[in-house]
Structure 1
Amino acid sequence: MIDYRKTTVPVWALATRDVRVAPFGGEQRMTAGRLAELRTVLAALADEPVATLEAHPLPERLDRARGIPLDAVSPLAQHLSQLVTASARSSSSAATVAGEGLYRLVVPAKVAGAFGQGLVRPMMSKAVTGGFRGPLVDTTGRIVAGATFVPVGKAAAAGAAGGAGATAGVAVAGSAALTVAAPLVLMALAVGVSANADTKRREAIERITDLLEQLHEDRLEAEHSELDGCRDAIDKATAILLDQGKIGASLGLDSAVHAINSALGAADRRLARWRSALDRLPDGEAVDIATLAKPFPGIDDDGGEFRAHLELASLAIALKQRVNVLQAVEHAQNDPGNLFENFTRALKRDQQRLDDMESGIAEVLLRLSALELARPQGLRPVFTTGEVDRLMRATHRIHQLADAAPTNGRPSDVAIEIARDKDGSVVVFPALPAGN
């Protein structure tokens, strides 16, 4: 998404409260590699989370449909506008993007780890094509250009103020030129993670729709419809909270949470049955397809009921992740003097159950993919070409289940891109691991 052929872009260091860090300031120009090194230093030496915010020119072509739009009067847009406007008065590099631009916030890995490993992970899909991928390369993979970054000085601090419970200023004397901007970091992180979860929800909806069209299962269709019906309440609650409002009973969020929790309960029960079925299989022996299909109906088909159950679990998890972010933001706003710690603590607690479920599903898929399928049982010594083809297709499909297993790797830095228009409105794109 970011065009690195542009020569110079400003970068801010943003803290959630006063901290003492290694030098990060002045007008010394740096490369992208040097900036990455400084991020590592800031994360290792600072007592509190330190993020960096880069300001790039707005690309000519930008898929805004995959982000969450916020108007110019929203707290996030106002915090960003105040930061940029104050910076432009004292920094020539910041002045070049004082209007529209694409801002990239990178939150350190030790903060990302507090969100739960499963909340932000790479999404290999068309929905995120064009996301940040590092230095610009040509069709052969050769790096053709790179941006130069200029740190923005202390004058930027005044721009971080605004909003209930906002804290702003420069870090304590003797440290770097570090802007304290807890509300900006909190709101950007909340919207980016929410957009990430919503992208996973849309992908799950598309897959479930295709599967149910093949299955014609009214029971699964009803479960799908109930989950998909939660979106309206979640979207409205998100908009209200991001405007620092209060969620009322009229939104229907309580009933949406009940439906999501019911779906997660069904997924838990199915997961327990799958594990029990695998435990009953004889160790080291090949398994007949008919035997395997009883606890895992349609496992040898592209659109079987087992795969529909997997996608329903994915949808419930994605919706629950959005609700978790809403609850964490509400919790943080109720205690504005302690924004970031409450936010991460609430997310980590609520995310743990989802991590456990995804780990359990991954375990089941990996165990299934490792099974050896037996030849069909029968009296005939020779099998038809159709039977052999079915066995080969089933073997291939079952072995491919490992590719669908959720993976929870080590937490990475989280990158959130924000497109800002001339009128001050913004579009926040899904949070992604910064290395992607």
Structure 2
Amino acid sequence: MIDYRKATVPVWALATGDVQVPAVVGDEPMTAERLGELRSVLAALAAEPIATLEVHPLPDTLDRSRGIPLDAVSPLAQHLSQLITQSARSSSVAAKATAAGENLYHMVVPAKVAAQFGQGIVRPMVAKGVACGIRGPLVNSTGSIAAHATFVPVGKAAAAGAAGGAGATAGVAAAGSVALTVAAPLVLMAVAVGVSAHVDQKRQQAIEHITELLEQLHEEKLDDEHSELDGCRDAIDKATAVLLDQGKLGASLGLDSAVHAINTALGKADRRLARWQSALDKVPDGEAVEIATLTKSFPGVDEPGGTFRAHLELAALAIALKQRVIVLQAVEHAQSDPGNLFENFARVLKRDHQRLTALESGIAGVLVRLSALELARPQSLRPVFTTGEVDRLMRATNRIHQLGDGAMVDSRATDVAIDIAREKDGSVIVFPALPAQT
């Protein structure tokens, strides 16, 4: 963790359109708490979403493998470079902070924009061994960004910083309003890459779990499902690279076939969910259930691995891949209509996401219901159980009760934080989007 208590941190207010808000920003240094309050005010009063962008020193140790790299000629890197160049001309604070050429940029996008991405698409990822910790390059043991830096607003002269590139819109906000950098393309591309990195991390986690489970199960049909889904990654990765370079998608990328495979997997997950819900509906309220009865509908639910758990991981993998596809579709449509970046982005992201939310919520509901079940003693002619039978019942009870841990997801919209590491050559690495710490 880097100690920023003595640091002076430049901060930009990035508007995604011409907005008019009361003069609440000012040009005086502020604390992190004051910056948080300012974000809340801007989110409530601004007609268009307003993000903030801070610049910090690049940490000495940074796991770059967690992010998505983009070269210096990519639109995101160019928008960021132009913002830095224009700001440095008129702000000594910004010039000093960015002089080394390599920094870590911390963008916070308001909750009203996060809600447009789809409820719950960005969720906390708990770091192992850290109580309440959130993974990220700028977090400390409590999971929050250092709160004692002095933040200095970068003023009007930076307003042209986001200009350039296809579809760029830049300039000072509407007359009579506070000075804001209009940087829709920069915010759009940062969000697109950050969300894509976030869901790809979920995909990697699902694949790790599935691989381990299938090695135990030796289920060829499930292994085929896994292989078909994992085979979609190459097409999605290539389509992501093309779109982030503002290219056009073509049939040669194979994205259409990948989407078909993902939709097929989601269809299987929907049908499995319906069967699970139906089985639980047949359980009389308040009555205990035998393990043998439960495993008929949820095979392997009482074991460390099992078919049921493999089905859960396959559903998680299909959802993560579909979320990446939704972001790709949004970027493609937004770039095809550069004059309407954010509205297009929100509209396309919203499509299909309701289905994913319903599927995730349904699965979470099944896990919670399973975890609340009382397991009955197996029927037997013998009046006494063996030690092995008792141990199996206790282990099964613990495993089933643990299914509900973490299943309840808070889907309320939260501010989204995206970290962008900029190297000296102008290339960038965008880290997975996370819920912003308050």
Bucket of the pairwise TM-score, normalised by the shorter protein = over 0.9
Q: How many angstroms does 1:143 deviate by?
A: 11
Query: Deviation of residue 132 (structure 1)?
Result: 6.0
- Aligned pairs, number: 433
Determine the C-alpha separation between the residues in 2 that align with 1:396 and 1:155.
61
SS of alignment partner, residue 30 of structure 1: coil
Alpha carbons 1:24, 1:178 under 8 Å: kept:
no
Look up the SS of the partner of 1:360 in the other structure: helix
Please give the secondary structure, in 2, of the residue aligned with 1:117: coil
The question of whether the paired residues in 1 share the 8 Å contact of 2:334 and 2:345 is answered with yes
Which whole-Å deviations, capped at 9, do the CAs of 1:334-362 have from their partners, x for residues lacking one? 11110001101211222111000000001
Alignment match of 1:327 (pick from 306, 321, 329) = 329
Residues 285 and 131 from structure 1, CA distance in 2 versus in 1: closer, same or farther, beyond 3 angstroms? Answer: same
Structure 1 unaligned regions, length at least 5 = none
Instruction: Name the CA shift for 1:365/1:133 in 2 (closer, same or farther; >3 Å).
Output: farther
One-letter amino acid matched to 1:171: A
Matching residue within 131, 136, 140 for 1:131: 136
Task: Decide whether aligned partners of structure 1 residues 188 and 2 sit closer, same or farther in structure 2, where only a CA change above 3 A counts.
Answer: farther
Corresponding residue SS for 2:107: strand
Preserved contact between residue 361 and residue 406 of structure 1 (Cα < 8 Å) = no
- Check whether the contact 1:22–1:41 (CA below 8 A) recurs between aligned residues: no
Kindly report structure 1 stretches of 4+ aligned residues shifted beyond 3 Å. 24-27, 125-130, 141-145
CA contact (8 A) 1:133 1:435 kept: no
**For 1:328-407, what aligned pairs fall within 5 Å after superposition?**
328-407=330-409
State the partner residue of 1:302: 304
- Which residue is 2:121 aligned to? 119
String of CA shifts for 1:109-148, please: whole Å, max 9, x gaps. 11111111121111124599651676x569xx99987111
- SS at the partner of 1:105? strand
Q: Counterpart of 2:90 in 1: which secondary structure? A: coil
Match of 1:55 in 2: 55
The letter for the 1-side match of 2:312 is L
Judge conservation of contact 2:127–2:135 (CA < 8 Å) in 1. Answer: no
Q: Is the 8 A contact 1:413 1:433 kept in 2?
A: yes
Q: Equivalent residue for 2:202?
A: 200
- Deviation sequence 1:193-237 (CA, Å, 0-9, x none): 000000000000001111111111111111000000000000000
Match of 2:173 in 1: 171
Does the aligned pair in 2 maintain the 1:52–1:106 contact within 8 Å? yes
How far the C-alpha of 1:22 sits from its partner, in A, is 2.7
Aligned in 2, Cα 1:389/1:279: closer, same or farther, shift over 3 Å?
A: same
Kept after mapping to 1: 8 A contact 2:246/2:335: yes
Among 316, 319, 339, the residue aligned to 2:318: 316
What secondary structure is seen at the aligned counterpart in 2 of 1:309? helix
Contact 1:116/1:352 (8 A) holds in 2: yes
* 8 A contact 2:144–2:437 mirrored in 1: no
* Alignment match, 1:93: 93
Q: Deviation per CA, 1:53-93, whole angstroms, max 9, x where unpaired?
A: 00011011100000000000000000000001110111122
What's 1:17 paired with? Answer: 17
Change (3 A) 1:218 1:144: closer
Superposed displacement of residue 394, structure 1: 0.5
Considering only aligned residues, what root-mean-square deviation do their CA atoms show, in Å? 1.9
The code of the aligned residue for 2:73 comes to V
* Structure 2 SS opposite 1:97: helix
Q: Distance in 1 between matches of 2:175 and 2:420?
A: 31
**Corresponding letter in the other structure for 1:298:** G
Q: Could you tell me how far 1:3 is from its partner in structure 2?
A: 4.5
Segments of 5+ residues of structure 2 without an aligned counterpart are none
Q: TM-score, normalised by structure 2?
A: 0.95
Greater shift in the superposed pair: 415-424 or 121-130: 121-130
Contact 2:122 2:195 in 1 (8 A): yes
**Residues 69 and 429, structure 2, Cα contact 8 Å, conserved in 1:** yes
Query: What is the alpha-carbon distance in structure 2 between the residues aligned to residue 415 and residue 237 of structure 1?
Result: 24
Give the 3 Å change call, closer, same or farther, for CA 137–311 of structure 1 in structure 2: closer
Bigger shift: residues 114-123 or 58-67: 114-123
1:378 alignment partner AA:
S
User: Residues 208 and 404 of structure 1: is their aligned pair in 2 closer, same or farther, counting only changes over 3 Å?
Assistant: farther
Cα shift at 1:410: 1.4
TM superposition score normalised by structure 1 = 0.96
Give 1:30's aligned residue: 30
- In structure 2, what residue type is equivalent to 1:46? A
Displacement, 1:5?
3.6
Moved more, 141-150 or 213-222: 141-150
Out of 88-97 and 350-359, give the one that drifted further.
Answer: 88-97
How far does residue 14 in structure 1 lie from its aligned partner after superposition?
0.4
